[in-house]
Amino acid sequence: MGRTSDAKAKLLSVAFDLIHENSYGSVGVEQICQRAKVNKGSFYYFFKTKTDLVVAAYEEHWRVKEPDYERIFSPHNPPLKRLELWCGYIREVQKQRHKKYEQVCGCPYTSVGGELATQDKKMRLKTRDLIDRHVEYLAAAIADAMTAGRIETGDAEIKATLVHAFVVGLLLRAKIYNDLKVLNHLEAGIFGLIGAKAPKPHS
């Protein structure tokens, strides 16, 4: 395969899938190239290192899913409804990945970020950047809920950080137990953290 944009797109997609399914450390450049059907020469034409590829792959993954976040967290949706929609979105994404990989995969960003935080500064900073983008959406929804009088006033960013940390932890538990039902508790935890009445439990 030549050094085309198609080769780059395949490398990005395959790298994300392989690492999310397994781990950063267990996946090598040769394995990525074989799955993508791209030769190593093409790989090194686009990327200097595996880390460079993974950083780009995770950024591309965010670019693809960002429209979903814009839809879910649109100001046209009531603030607490945004959080409820987000919970449903998380469950649906994990359900699709479980069907594809036959296992719960958890959060792709924090999985690789936790694995490499003390080893690779570039990957750690990219993970932080992606986490911050999630927290920004959450903080805006929580701030709007405060303004609307739906929850007590406070520091929206701190609450958003706690919400995100809870969700990451629940995703990790679902991954370890390989059990999607763990994610039925998303709303209860999130709404409890921000001091709001949780919607009807998901089952």
Sequential pLDDT tens for the chain (203 residues): 444 668 999 999 999 888 888 887 878 899 999 999 999 998 999 999 989 998 999 999 999 999 999 999 999 999 999 999 999 999 999 999 999 889 999 988 887 777 777 777 888 898 899 999 999 999 999 999 999 999 999 999 999 999 999 999 999 999 999 999 999 999 999 999 999 998 877 66
Rounded-to-integer distance, Cα 90 and Cα 30, Å: 32
Q: Which two tokens stand for residue 59?
A: 């950024």
Which residue pairs from 196-203 have beta carbons closer than 8 angstroms and sit at least 24 positions apart in sequence?
Answer: 196/80, 196/145, 196/150, 196/151, 199/84, 202/87, 202/88, 202/91
Which helix (H) or strand (E) segment holds residue 20: the answer is: helix 5-21
Q: Which two tokens stand for residue 81?
A: 């409804």
Which helix (H) or strand (E) segment holds residue 50: the answer is: helix 50-72
- 3-class SS of residue 26: coil
Identify whether 62 is part of a domain: no
Same domain, 120 and 196: yes
Same domain, 196 and 158: yes
196: amino acid identity, one letter? A
Same domain, 79 and 40: no
What CATH number should be reported for the domain holding residue 44? Answer: 1.10.10.60
Residue 179: its pLDDT value, please? Answer: 97
pTM: 0.90
Give the domain range for residue 40: 1-56
Same domain, 3 and 43: yes
What CATH number should be reported for the domain holding residue 100? Answer: 1.10.357.10
